[in-house]
Amino acid sequence: LAAYVCDRIASNPQYKGRFIGAVPIVPAVGVAPEAVPPAPIVGALRVLAAVAPSSGFLTPEEDPSHYACPSNTKRNFQGSWPLSTSKMLLDVTSGGVEKDLNNGKLKLDIPSLLVIAGETDEIIPMEAVESFFMKAKCSDKEMMKVPKGDHGLMVGQNTAKYATERYLNG
């Protein structure tokens, strides 16, 4: 979703010359096929999201206790995801980003881009991240693949330290 926000900011004349780029960390630009629920579940999700969008019925439970910084912060969402959020995330990650990049709806024509992704992410395939990166129209772009980094890339002390040190030290 950050890619869409960056696209809008970069195209807004109000921010011309002030927006220097983006750093998506573990970008939700695709999803592993085994992480997508079966078709009947996806169909039910679409219907339920239309009928009761704020309901958390049968949706993932978000528990930020293992990644919130600081640990006592209240800024992270906690609880069952609303159905409308679950449906939107599934739609975007299971094909929306790729389709929008291919048809020009998402341009990613921004000054600079640094994509940080874990090589062992079990949710977002590296192929999706690489495709996203290659299609970005930035002239100044870099992709950092973190060895042994998974979907909780910036949570684990070792992978967060690796990514930070590698970026700062070149």
Could you read off the pLDDT tens digit of each residue along the chain, which spans 170 residues?
Answer: 567 777 777 777 887 777 777 777 777 788 888 878 888 888 888 888 888 888 877 777 777 666 555 666 666 667 777 778 778 778 877 788 888 888 888 877 778 888 888 888 888 888 888 988 888 888 788 888 888 788 777 666 566 666 667 666 76
Give the pLDDT confidence score for residue 14 in this predicted structure: 81
Give the pLDDT confidence score for residue 148 in this predicted structure: 79
Give the pLDDT confidence score for residue 50 in this predicted structure: 85
Question: What 3-state class would DSSP assign to 41?
Answer: helix
Give the pLDDT confidence score for residue 55 in this predicted structure: 81
- Report the candidate in 146, 20, 14 with the shortest Cα–Cα distance to residue 6: 20
Give the pLDDT confidence score for residue 10 in this predicted structure: 77
> What are the beta bridge partners of residue 144?
116
Give the pLDDT confidence score for residue 100 in this predicted structure: 85
Q: The whole model's pTM is what?
A: 0.70
Per DSSP, helices labelled H in the chain are: 2-11, 39-51, 83-91, 97-103, 126-135, 157-169
Give the pLDDT confidence score for residue 86 in this predicted structure: 78
Give the pLDDT confidence score for residue 157 in this predicted structure: 57
> What are the beta bridge partners of residue 80?
61
Q: Tell me the C-alpha distance between 22 and 159, whole Å.
A: 20
Tokens representing residue 111 in the block: 């000054």
